[in-house]
Amino acid sequence: MGFSYMIIIGVIALFSWMVSSKLKSKFEQYSKISLRNGMSGAEIAEKMLADNGIRDVKVISTPGQLTDHYNPVNKTVNLSEAVYNQRNAAAAAVAAHECGHAVQHAQAYSWLTMRSQMVPVVNISSSLSQWLIMGGLILGIASKGTSIGLYVAVAGLILMAIATAFSFITLPVEYDASNRALAWLKNKNMLGQEEYAGAEDALKWAARTYVVAALGALASLLYWAFQVLGRRE
């Protein structure tokens, strides 16, 4: 199981690197396609929010690259500096995608609601799960004849399972946000044919990064589940 796990993790890591590299090259490519309407990412975002009747969400600039996100707590669409200021197909795609999350929030999209409710637990489980599992395994060896180590390790598995479920719940949230973004860009005739094709392709590759992350989380969960439960006598 250990060798097979290493092969699986290696394949997933390789695939993750390939997807990330492809995503980066796609965004660089589509960043060179200037928008015919001359709108910046910030302006695209503000218009999409307005068209969906959302008046209580602010569009703000945030430092860094690939730091774009929607914050449901303070209702802000946070766009990286490049996306916020630039006027190209890549910026339009990212800005519209993040506004897609704002639309989900406004319409109480069930998957987003579920994901948001899990965030506090996942923040804890992500940092504690492996420590509990490894600690439980060590405790189990040190205290033969008792089940306390098993209980601790299983608690860690439960936390890891929650984090893994979170990764999979993220998938429909991200794909739906992209679908909402692309539908709006098309229906409002915001982009030309080449611009739209670039935005669509960029968002498809962005979504694939979440698929890889979910598969990696599942592989780790199965490995540790075998370590804890598969070796019981």
Q: Does the pTM of the predicted model rise above 0.85?
A: yes
d(CA 149, CA 132): 9
Burial state string for 151-171 with b = 16 or more CB within 10 A and e = fewer than 16 = ebbbbbbebbbbbbbbbebbe
Q: What are the strands of the beta sheet with 58-62, ordered from one edge?
A: 58-62, 76-80, 69-71
Domain count, the chain: 1
Split at pLDDT 50, 70, 90, the class of 145 is low
Q: So which residues are the catalytic ones? A: 98
Retrieve residue 189's tokens: 């005739």
pLDDT at 110: 96
Domain that holds residue 55: 2-230
> Residue 79's beta-bridge partner residues?
61
Q: What is the mean pLDDT of residues 32-39?
A: 92
Supply the pLDDT for residue 65: 83
CA 57 to chain centre: 21
Q: Residue 117: what pLDDT?
A: 93
Q: What are phi and psi of 55, to 5 degrees?
A: -110, -10
Between CA 92 and CA 35 the distance in angstroms is 8
CB-based contacts of 114, cutoff 8 Å, min separation 6: 169
Mean pLDDT to the nearest integer, 118-137: 91
Residue 65's SS3 state is coil
Tell me the chain's radius of gyration from C-alpha atoms.
21
The pLDDT value recorded for residue 26 is 87
Say how far apart CA 183 and CA 155 lie, in whole Å. 43
pLDDT mean over 56-79: 94
